[in-house]
A = this chain, B = another copy of it.
Amino acid sequence: MAGLDQAVAAVAAAVEVELASILPEAEGPQARLHEAMRYVVLGGGKRLRAFLVAATAEMFSVRGLAPTRAGAAVELLHAYSLVHDDLPAMDDALLRRGKPACHVAFGEATAILAGDALQPLAFEVLARPDYGADAEQRCQLVRGLAASTGSLGMCGGQLLDLMAEKQGWGLEAIAAMQRLKTGALIRWSCEAGTVLGRAGTPEAAAVLDYADDLGLAYQIRDDLLDRGGAGIATGKDSGRDRTVGKATLVDLLGEAEAGRRLLELRDRAVRRLDIFGDRATLLIDLFSLVISRKS
């Protein structure tokens, strides 16, 4: 999958440039806040969500800055969510992407505010008229991204995840929580590509079904890595999810069954994208990458 690796690296580089230009410079009276925002957004991560926007948009022959802009917006939101998830009152994590978590490096108040300020920035840049999406598309992107991060999306999932520490949950409940917590932003990333590409209803539905399977597979792989990984490999506190009694899909399925589930999900995702023929190669290769990733 050399083509995929190159494509992922190219998107990550373009999104990094866009993010660096979107984020305010670390200067002026609020320099410390801007420094914290740049610290948590720049120079890290695989930019999976931005890549999903780009790969989906490419499938619909979208050209220009729009996929990069939408990718930057979802990465801003993803970064904010990590900052707040790591807070002492939430997951209380000390490491993120191999660096001290934001609240460790900048203090708790600044970390809360950095997350709070990254969130509107994502919506602000989506609403700007300068990136080749018309006003209706921009509104659709804002609405979709907002819905996927709110109480019926990511924030709702995080609340359920915190609750899951305290009670024994079944497979369905955990999968539903993960669909919100990590699945919603992954789904929106693919949705953004369909909005920019003005996809028809069956095409958009196929892509969103693919996104849902990918989100679930991503989470199962994450759980598997957490069981075996060292802090160095994933760049975050390892094993913490298990030690504090958080229910994971892999706990309930067992590792062998979880591995089988990953392959089933990939096969189903491939079938969902049949209608696109060769144009779906990047998204299909990406699925294989996600279920075999080592970090």
Contact = CB atoms under 8 A, between A and B. Distances in A.
Interface string A170-187: 000100110000000000
Interface of A: 24, 29-30, 32-34, 37, 84, 87, 89-90, 107-110, 112-113, 115-117, 119-121, 123-124, 126-129, 134-136, 138-140, 142-143, 145-147, 149-152, 155-156, 158-160, 162-163, 173, 176-177
Contacts of A155: 33, 113, 116-117
Given A123-B146, A151-B37, A29 B139 contact: no
Contact of A138 (B110, B112, B135): B135
B150 A124 contact: yes
A176 B116 CA distance: 20
A66 to B, nearest CB: 14
Tallying the copies of this chain within the complex gives 2
Q: Which 4 A-B pairs have the closest CB atoms?
A: A135-B135, A124-B146, A120-B146, A89-B108
B160 A30 contact: yes
A117 B146 CA distance: 9
Q: Identify which of A32, A136, A145, A150 gathers the most chain B CB atoms within 10 Å of its CB.
A: A150
Contacts of A151: 24, 30, 33-34, 37, 113, 117, 121
A87 B113 CA distance: 11
Nearest to A120: B146
Nearest to A81: B116
B112 A156 contact: no
16 contacts: A29-B156, A84-B112, A84-B113, A89-B108, A89-B109, A89-B112, A90-B109, A109-B159, A110-B159, A113-B159, A116-B119, A117-B149, A117-B150, A117-B155, A119-B120, A124-B147
